[in-house]
Protein backbone atom coordinates (compact mmCIF):
# COMPACT_ATOMS: atom_id res chain seq x y z
CA UNK A 1 0.00 0.00 0.00
CA UNK A 2 1.38 3.39 -0.99
CA UNK A 3 0.43 6.51 0.94
CA UNK A 4 0.17 9.80 -0.93
CA UNK A 5 1.88 12.66 0.88
CA UNK A 6 0.50 15.73 -0.87
CA UNK A 7 -0.80 17.37 2.27
CA UNK A 8 2.55 17.77 4.05
CA UNK A 9 1.79 21.25 5.42
CA UNK A 10 -1.59 20.22 6.80
CA UNK A 11 -0.10 17.09 8.35
CA UNK A 12 2.78 19.07 9.85
CA UNK A 13 0.40 21.59 11.44
CA UNK A 14 -1.84 18.81 12.75
CA UNK A 15 1.11 17.04 14.39
CA UNK A 16 2.57 20.22 15.88
CA UNK A 17 -0.81 21.26 17.33
CA UNK A 18 -1.78 17.82 18.63
CA UNK A 19 -2.68 17.75 22.32
CA UNK A 20 -1.89 14.94 24.71
CA UNK A 21 -5.57 13.96 24.83
CA UNK A 22 -5.73 13.67 21.03
CA UNK A 23 -2.55 11.60 21.07
CA UNK A 24 -4.01 9.28 23.65
CA UNK A 25 -7.27 8.83 21.69
CA UNK A 26 -5.31 7.95 18.54
CA UNK A 27 -3.14 5.46 20.41
CA UNK A 28 0.18 7.18 19.68
CA UNK A 29 3.02 6.79 22.16
CA UNK A 30 4.02 9.96 24.03
CA UNK A 31 7.71 9.65 23.19
CA UNK A 32 6.96 9.01 19.51
CA UNK A 33 4.87 12.18 19.26
CA UNK A 34 7.63 14.13 21.04
CA UNK A 35 10.25 12.76 18.61
CA UNK A 36 8.17 13.65 15.56
CA UNK A 37 7.37 17.15 16.86
CA UNK A 38 11.03 17.77 17.77
CA UNK A 39 12.21 16.86 14.27
CA UNK A 40 9.54 19.03 12.63
CA UNK A 41 10.54 22.05 14.73
CA UNK A 42 14.22 21.51 13.85
CA UNK A 43 13.32 21.43 10.15
CA UNK A 44 14.16 17.76 9.72
CA UNK A 45 11.91 15.21 8.05
CA UNK A 46 10.76 12.71 10.67
CA UNK A 47 10.36 9.07 9.80
CA UNK A 48 6.70 8.22 10.28
CA UNK A 49 5.70 4.66 9.54
CA UNK A 50 2.51 3.91 7.67
CA UNK A 51 0.59 2.68 10.70
CA UNK A 52 1.08 5.94 12.60
CA UNK A 53 0.54 8.05 9.51
CA UNK A 54 -2.86 6.45 8.93
CA UNK A 55 -3.84 7.12 12.57
CA UNK A 56 -2.93 10.80 12.26
CA UNK A 57 -4.76 11.40 8.99
Q: What integer is the mean pLDDT of 8-26? A: 90
User: Residue 10 and residue 33: Cα distance in Å, rounded?
Assistant: 16
* pLDDT score, position 4: 55
In 3D space, the residue among 9, 17, 14, 13 whose CA is nearest the CA of residue 55 turns out to be 14
pLDDT band at 16 (very low <50, low <70, confident <90, very high): very high
Number of Cβ atoms within 10 Å of the Cβ of 52 = 19
Query: Full-prediction pTM beyond 0.95?
Result: no
Task: Give yes or no for residue 24 having a pLDDT over 90.
Answer: yes
Whole-number average pLDDT of the chain: 85
Amino acid sequence: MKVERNNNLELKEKILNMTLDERKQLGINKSLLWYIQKNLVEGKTPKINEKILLKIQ
